[in-house]
Amino acid sequence: MKKASVVLNPRKLGPVRLVRELARARRTGPVPETVFRLLRPFHGPELDTIYDRCMRDDTARRILEEGRSLHPVLLDFRRLRSLPDGTLGREYARFMDENEIDIVSFAEASWKHMVREDYANDAAWTLANRLRDIHEIVHVISGYGTDVLGEMCEIVFNIREDPRPRAAWFAVKTNLVKFRRMGAPEAEATIREAHARGQRAGLMVGTDWEALLDWPLEDVRRKLGISPPPSYVPIPGPGGPPLPPPRPRDVVAAVFAARPGAVGV
């Protein structure tokens, strides 16, 4: 007998609406409202896999069963900025300040497209929210920036915990074509390395980040089995040329190449 999903309403997009939302994303860019209009409906079987993995991990299970929200902890910037340099919390605050990231708007946009009633229990709802809230922490812990190449590296680094792997691989494949067209063949090797690093890492969504914020960042990386961040050239770089727009044939190819568990990029 098939196990019941913890996602009661995956809100899947049909082909017509998907095309419409992709067009919207091209017009508006990666603003929070557009991101969640496009990506939220992809919660489905993959979230069940992540949920089951968390339930087998003592720390992760406790976090979900307690219904812990990471959001207010990460909003306490007064405390985070007061932590010593080099700690996870201080480096997280620095990352958010330098990149002018507003997690309040991001969370509010997500709540327009995901509600508690979509999930079978409180633990699954906690997981869905925590998956959103750890995005920037994963940037800090993995060492990748918010440039397009850095975002693609963050995606593949944490692909095992992405509840929308098809959408994630679609973004990676589409941007790889752009990197090749602009003459940046090293980008593919950088993405492959990010994927390999993530495969060796511990469970991100099930980590007790609240307890680790005052730890030295390097100690947190060692605890989670994360190798030191590699150096890479951001794309697009400061003052460099923008990425070329996607061609229809590239988008079609990316759709067919985007598959969960894809290792080759």
* Total structural domains within the chain: 1
End-to-end CA distance of the chain: 35
Structure confidence by residue, pLDDT tens digits, 183-215: 888 999 999 999 999 999 999 999 999 999 999
Token duo for residue 242: 């923008």
Is 63 within a domain?
A: yes
Is 265 within a domain?
A: no
- Separation in Å, CA 137 to CA 78, 82, 174, 180: 17, 18, 25, 29
Is 204 within a domain?
A: yes
Q: How far apart are alpha carbons 36 and 180 in whole angstroms?
A: 28
The answer to whether the beta carbons of residues 143 and 230 sit under 8 Å apart is yes
Is 10 within a domain?
A: no
- Separation in Å, CA 189 to CA 50, 72, 103, 195, 264: 27, 37, 31, 10, 11
What was the pLDDT predicted at 37? 57
- Separation in Å, CA 91 to CA 73, 96, 139, 140, 219: 15, 9, 11, 7, 13
Q: How far apart are alpha carbons 143 and 148 in whole angstroms?
A: 14
Is 91 within a domain?
A: yes
Q: How far apart are alpha carbons 114 and 40 in whole angstroms?
A: 7
Is 3 within a domain?
A: no
Is 139 within a domain?
A: yes
Domain that holds residue 32: 15-257
What is the pTM assigned to this prediction? Answer: 0.85
Mean pLDDT of 44-63: 94
Does residue 38 surpass a pLDDT of 70?
no
Is 74 within a domain?
A: yes
